[in-house]
Amino acid sequence: MKIDDLEQMDSEDLRGLTSNERRKFLKMGLAVTGLYLGGTVLSLTSVKNAGAAGVVPEDGQYPYSPHYSMVIRERLCIDCERCKNACVKTNHVPAYGFRTTILEKRRSLGGGKHETIFMPVLCNHCNRPPCVRVCPTTATYKDEKTGIVVMNPPRCIGCKTCMTACPYNARYFKEETRAVDKCDFCFNSRLSKGESTTACVEACPADVRVFGDLADNKSRVYQLVHAPETMVWVLRPETGAVPNVFYINS
């Protein structure tokens, strides 16, 4: 189109809009917004789906058997990092990555004093794992029996999308295998060889980490998570990933 032709055309700026047309457009916008707002604000969508029911699953509603999970008694962690070292040794984790680590936060006690809180973190083996959802080659998947989020390294193309998707920063790219590596609750290194617990749990001197089958009501994890008068929380519940690592303070 030439510049002369362009000048001949009707203007498309706001001056050409009739007030009726504006109203129509606004109405449409309001209707669309209202639809979405109504769904969440006025709870026209089911409350159950909103995940406000709490982080602890209802008794008997565990999708896996054994439903492996970990309870972290956060207050007791002293950052001795024996868990980290045991994990490195057991699972051959290189120095630039980690399968589990300890984070640190500070809480004011008033009067200029602070308290340190150490927070062990690892893969949360989510019931709805964002990493599995984004993997283009199904190199990472949820084990059908145990619910452990596992890696199949030969399938991994190293796109690192799962690393971006993970809400817990629990994945790293392992150069030795040219694949993403992550915690598998020691499935390959220990559980599949008859051991009953992970290396980090075994190494912890303060009994911070407790590992077990959440579907078994005699297991310690079950009893801790379902104990009365206990505050149980998970990390980043808002992502809707339904994690299986629970934090308590007792």
Partner 1 sequence: MKKILLLLVFGVFLLSSGMLLADNEGMEEEYDEDIYGPEEPIVWVKPVESVVFEHKVHTMGAELDCESCHDDLFAMEAGAAEENEDFTMATLYEGGYCGACHDGSSAFASNTRCTTCHIGVRGHMRLIGGDGDEGDKH
* Choices 7-15, 28-36, 101-109, 218-226; region in contact with partner 1 by CB under 8 A: 101-109
Q: Shortest gap between Cβ of 117 and partner 1 (angstroms)?
A: 7
Rounded to whole angstroms, the Cα distance separating 54 from 226 reads 12
Q: Which of 39, 205, 217, 250 binds partner 1 (CB under 8 A)?
A: 205
Residue 44 CB neighbours (<10 A): 10
* Choices 36-44, 91-99, 140-148, 220-228; region in contact with partner 1 by CB under 8 A: 91-99
Q: What are phi and psi of 3, to 5 degrees?
A: -65, -30
Q: Which of 55, 56, 66, 80 binds partner 1 (CB under 8 A)?
A: 80
Q: Which of 116, 137, 230, 249 binds partner 1 (CB under 8 A)?
A: 116
Q: Which is nearer to partner 1, 208 or 234 (CB)?
A: 208
Alpha helices in the chain (DSSP H): 3-8, 19-40, 82-91, 130-134, 161-165, 199-203, 220-225
Secondary structure string (H, E, C) spanning 131-178: HHHHCCCCCEEECCCCCCEEECHHHCCCCCHHHHHCCCCCEEEECCCC
Assess 1 for contact with partner 1 (CB under 8 A): no
Q: Which of 62, 70, 84, 244 binds partner 1 (CB under 8 A)?
A: 84
Q: Which helix (H) or strand (E) holds 180?
A: strand 179-182
Cis before 66? omega within 30: yes
Which residues in 169-198 contact partner 1 (CB under 8 A)? 172-173
Q: Give just the sign of the alpha carbon dihedral 150, 152, 155, 156.
A: positive
Assess 202 for contact with partner 1 (CB under 8 A): no
Assess 92 for contact with partner 1 (CB under 8 A): no
Binding mask 15-54 for partner 1 (x = CB under 8 A): ----------------------------------------
Site for partner 1, rule CB under 8 A: 75-82, 84, 95-98, 101-102, 104, 115-118, 172-173, 205-206
